[in-house]
Structures are given as structure tokens and as C-alpha cells.
Structure 1
Amino acid sequence: MKKKKLIVVVGPTAIGKTAMGVALANHYDTEVISADSRQFYREMSIGTAKPDEFELAQARHHFIHSHSITEEYSAGDFERDALALLDNLFRKHDQVIVVGGSGLFVRALCEGLDDLPKAPVEVRDQLNRLFLEQGIEPLQARLKNVDPVYYEQADVQNPQRVIRALEVFEATGKPFSAFRAGKLEERPFDVITIGLNMDRTLLYDRINRRVDRMMETGLLQEVKSLKVYREKPALLTVGYAELFAYLDGQSTLEDAVDRIKQNSRRYAKRQITWFKKYGDTRWFEPTALNDIVAYIDAKTEGK
């Protein structure tokens, strides 16, 4: 009996993962799981580029608007909940689609995570405050000092990753890298990973135009409404941190928007680098639906 197939669509921000996920879900008559670490949150919509009403109507999505920003929701929580959901979905479908730009959440679902200790809330809050007050550089320097092994491996431009590693060290006195066993969990399904990419100049233009659309549709108002939650890890990210700085009087609005574009481009570059190292990913142009379907079908048939 053939294993069920988890079709994972990855790639940089603004590349068109949502549209491809919907197209594949329609082709295979199945459902979509979002593996984006911020689209869970009901209060964060514009800045996270959630699927719009039309896209949500085209295919059933899971883990969109599923949690409040007031809740802590980790990659480990997602792994547990998504595996339970897949157990149900695979009773009805031979394929399920996962769409995600968050490498850690994709890895959690497909491979499992190392068993990391949970840090006290006050440790996390202290590190978040340091980031908000002084930026990421002091945290990077601290991580390089206490855990040079992980510092060389990690995306140290991502404040959530740096803070998480420092949380573990502060809570245990042991470096984050000491807890990373690196063993893969056996899954009762096969994973087929599709990467979307395009010419870098065209991608950067898409990113810039999407940021402009976000501002036109009310991103600043969304950020203002979330100011009371600004220390939450999900808000220490591109599109939100820059506008909080503007609201604090640290920059002009024009400079904040330019920084969102710049940081989004940098984030896209890091995503591409991460996913090129991750697993057995086959890369396609974001409009190559027929080629992607042919590849998935060949993999399914064992060719």
C-alpha cells in the first residue's frame, strides 16, 4: 500500500506560494495547511500576507486565523497539532498540501524537532525588551559568545531564532547547540517538496510592490492596533518592527517603509538559502503548475 503524500510548497516571501498551494489543492481535490509562523494569528493579517477571501474560498485552509496573538504557539505546538490534523485529512485524501515560508515550522512537521527545554516567561520577556530597546546586535554578540557553534549555523538576522537560542542558554546554562540531536522522526507519509523561485530582480520588484499594497490597505493601522502586544515574538518581525520604530519617533514613515522593503528582500534571500539546503527540494518557476504536477505524479509513481 502506497504511503500518502505531503506536498510541501516552499520559497521566498512574495513568490506566489499561496496561489500555487490553492492550484495544487484544486488539482488534487484536497486541503491546505499553512506552515507560516505568523499567519496563525487572527490579529495579524495585512503584514503576514494571508490568503485573501477568494483564495480561502478556493480551497479549505488550516492554521489561518487559528490563534490569538495573546497565545504562545511554538513550532513544537504546531508539529503536534498538524500531525493530528494530517491523521484525519489522510483518511479522506491521498495528498495534502503544505504552504510555508517558515523553515522551522516546515521542518517540525516533516522531520520533527529536537526536544528543547522551555524557558521561563521572564527570561523571554527580558530578551524581547533588550531587542526592542537596543536592536538585534547585542543579542547576536551574546549568542556568538555563549554558543559559537549555533551562531555559525543559524539565521542570526532572525530575532526569533536568536532569542530562542539565548532563552535555552539562560534557562539551562548549556548552549542551544547541545540540545540539537539532529535525528529525523519517521513519518507515516512521504514528503514531496516543491520550491518556487524566479529571477532575483523580478522577485525584489514583487516584494517592493507588495509592501506598497500592504501600506495602501492599512498596515500602519494594523500595527497601531497591536502596539500593546509589541513584545510578543510574532511581532518582532519584518513589517511590524519597522513601523513600531516609526511610531516611537525613531524614523520617518518613508524610511520605515523603505526598511520594510529592504528587510523583506533580505528575508527572501535567507529563505532561499535555507530551503536550498533543506531536504530534497525541486525548484520551479512560480507559474509552472503543469511541470510541478508532472513532477509530483512521477514521484508518486516512483519514477
Structure 2
Amino acid sequence: MTGNAKRLIVVVGPTAVGKTAMGIALAKHFKTEIISADSRQFYREMSIGTAKPDVNELTEVRHHFIDSHTIEEEYSAGDFERDVLSLLDMLFEKQDVVVMVGGSGLFVRAVCEGLDTLPKAPTVVRERLNDIFEREGLEPLQQKLKEIDPDYYRHADIQNPQRVIRALEVYEATGQPFSSYRVREMVKRPFEIVTIGLNMERQKLYGRINLRVDMMIEMGLVDEVRSLLPYRSKPALLTVGYAEIFDFIDGEISLEEAISRIKQNSRRYAKRQITWFKKYGDTVWFEPEDWQGILSFLT
């Protein structure tokens, strides 16, 4: 660390790579606390399908933004940016280092660089778009986005329903393409940011993903998803691990097919996460087991 600068260590990488364990190890080493930047772990009702830290992990180190909200609330990356910056002001009064862990690229970027100020769309607009998604799937929404905002379509993760629906919401609420709002320059934060990326050999990672999905099923993922049926149109539930089980509950596919799709979609999501973070900022990459290398880099 240089001088007396406060430092935020950000641990990123694909799902199942070992970010939680590394974050805890770093927080214990620096005697500090963890901020979760996983956009689904905020919600108390979503535990199994989001691979939250378990009870033992949560007692080892204090975590923030785990079970902090209910699925009934709308909680955006902009809300997260505001709340985390406020929390960091308090944490940095007593700590020189804070650790942030998560694979949600937009939420990480919100804290590290700031986001453009985007208008909020009326609830009825989101509900109508969600209804189209439920009835017809993602493809018609992707096509609509391609027509109205080809620039964002080329650069966005168009396999992510939340991103596609959000961009369409903004267009329908304002008449302006989503890309026209994405012009703000990166904000300089009053603390140092160091980003550590974790990655491993592809087949090993895929094996870990498959094993995690099997464990989720054993832990009761189907019952968790069933309990969330009244909220299935919420953006946080239009995601891997939940959407596929909803299809099973609806009788559209078998449980075996749902499990297979979760594994496949999780692997695809991991690839997108790696691509995002390799393009993002000054991420320095390590194997999850390379504790000494990471520690040497940080100190």
C-alpha cells in the first residue's frame, strides 16, 4: 500500500471459481470486512440458487449486502453504488483495507467507476416486458433491442434478460436509446482500487460448476424456487438456476432437463463473466490456489 491511502481490494471471476473463500482469506489477513457484489445474494429469499456463503463462512468475517433486502424490493446497481460508497466512508474510518467480492460485473463497475444516471421506467412497462419474456422467451426482446439500439446490442450481454429488459425499459420510458445515456466518464474514487481476478483451467471450472448445481438440487433448490412463484417476474429471478426450475414446475421440461440446462447456462454465464472482467479495468489474474502470489502482489 502506498502512503496512507485507503484501499478497496476487489475479488472477481466466474461462478464457482472460489471467490468466497479467497475473499474470506483476504479479509482475515487484513483484519477487515467484506462487501458482497453479487446482485442476487442481496435477497433473503434466494439462498440455495445464489450459492451464498454458509453460516460458518458468514461468522468468520463480517459480510455486508448478504440478505440485506427482500425480493419484493427493486434494488439497482445505482442504488448499490450509493449504499456501498456510504458504507465505505464508515469502514475506512477504522480500516485501511476493505474487500469486495462478486461476479456481478455491473455492480462491481458501479462502485469502482460510477454509472450513468438512467431514468426509471414505470412499473407497468417492466411488467409488460417481463410478460413478453415469460410467454415468448428472450428472442423477440433481443430483436426489438437490435432494431431500436444497435449500438448497445453489439456491446451488451444480450443473453442476460435483465440487461435486455432494462435497455428496452429506458427506451420505452424516454424514447431515447439506452446507449445514449452511457456517456459518463469514469469517476475517480477517493480510495485506491486493486482488482484481483480468479480463474482456472476451463474443464476444471466446468467440473466445479456441475458439482455445485448437483449440490444445490440436493439442498432443496426446487422447493426454494417453488416458494418464489409469486415473484417470478422479478428481475433477480429471470436468471440461471431459477428460470430453468420455473420451467420444470410449469411442466414444460423434466427435472433432469432443468438440471442439465442449469449446468449448461451456468457454464455459459461463467464464460461471459471471464470475458467481462478481462475487458474491465486493470484486473490482475491468479489461480485461486495461488495465495502467496496474490499476497505478494497486494503487499
The alignment's TM-score, normalised by the length of structure 2, stands at: 0.98
Match of 1:70 among 69, 72, 78: 72
Report what 1:162 is aligned to: 164
The percent of aligned pairs where both chains have the same amino acid is 68
Is residue 34 of structure 2 the alignment partner of residue 32 of structure 1?
A: yes
Return 288-297 or 190-199, whichever deviates more.
288-297
5+ residue gaps, structure 1? 298-303
Note the alpha carbon deviations across 1:210-254, whole angstroms, 9 max, x for none: 000000000000000000100000000000000001111110010
Match of 1:218 among 204, 217, 220: 220
1:220 maps to a residue whose letter is V
5+ residue gaps, structure 2? none
Report what 1:85 is aligned to: 87
Report what 1:146 is aligned to: 148
Report what 1:301 is aligned to: none
- The DSSP-based 3-state class of the residue aligned with 1:47 is helix
Q: In the aligned structure 2, how far is the partner of 1:53 from the partner of 1:280? A: 33
2:121 maps to a residue whose letter is A
Shift of 1:72: 0.5
Report what 2:104 is aligned to: 102
Report what 2:11 is aligned to: 9
Report what 1:22 is aligned to: 24
Report what 2:246 is aligned to: 244
1:61 maps to a residue whose letter is H
Match of 2:59 among 54, 57, 60: 57
Report what 1:254 is aligned to: 256
Q: In the aligned structure 1, how far is the partner of 2:289 from the partner of 2:64? A: 23
Report what 1:113 is aligned to: 115
Alignment root-mean-square deviation, CA: 0.6
Q: In the aligned structure 2, how far is the partner of 1:132 from the partner of 1:292? A: 43
Shift of 1:37: 0.5
Q: In the aligned structure 1, how far is the partner of 2:294 from the partner of 2:108? A: 19
Q: In the aligned structure 2, how far is the partner of 1:168 from the partner of 1:48? A: 27
Q: In the aligned structure 2, how far is the partner of 1:50 from the partner of 1:207? A: 14
Q: In the aligned structure 2, how far is the partner of 1:133 from the partner of 1:285? A: 42
Q: In the aligned structure 1, how far is the partner of 2:213 from the partner of 2:286? A: 24
Match of 1:129 among 128, 131, 143: 131
Q: In the aligned structure 2, how far is the partner of 1:194 from the partner of 1:147? A: 33
Shift of 1:2: 2.9
Is residue 231 of structure 2 the alignment partner of residue 229 of structure 1?
A: yes
Q: In the aligned structure 2, how far is the partner of 1:191 from the partner of 1:185? A: 12
Match of 2:202 among 200, 203, 224: 200
Return 179-188 or 97-106, whichever deviates more.
179-188
Q: In the aligned structure 2, how far is the partner of 1:135 from the partner of 1:242? A: 12
Q: Would you say how many aligned residue pairs link Structure 1 and Structure 2?
A: 297
Q: In the aligned structure 2, how far is the partner of 1:229 from the partner of 1:58? A: 32
Shift of 1:141: 0.5
- The DSSP-based 3-state class of the residue aligned with 2:48 is coil
Note the alpha carbon deviations across 1:129-184, whole angstroms, 9 max, x for none: 11111111111000001000000000000000000000000101110000101411
Q: In the aligned structure 2, how far is the partner of 1:3 from the partner of 1:177? A: 35
Is residue 296 of structure 2 the alignment partner of residue 294 of structure 1?
A: yes
Note the alpha carbon deviations across 1:87-139, whole angstroms, 9 max, x for none: 00001111000001000000000110001111110001111111111111111
Q: In the aligned structure 1, how far is the partner of 2:53 from the partner of 2:184? A: 33
2:235 maps to a residue whose letter is P
Return 231-240 or 176-185, whichever deviates more.
176-185
Shift of 1:278: 0.2
Q: In the aligned structure 2, how far is the partner of 1:132 from the partner of 1:210? A: 26
**Which consecutive aligned stretches of 4+ in structure 1 deviate over 2 angstroms post-superposition?**
none
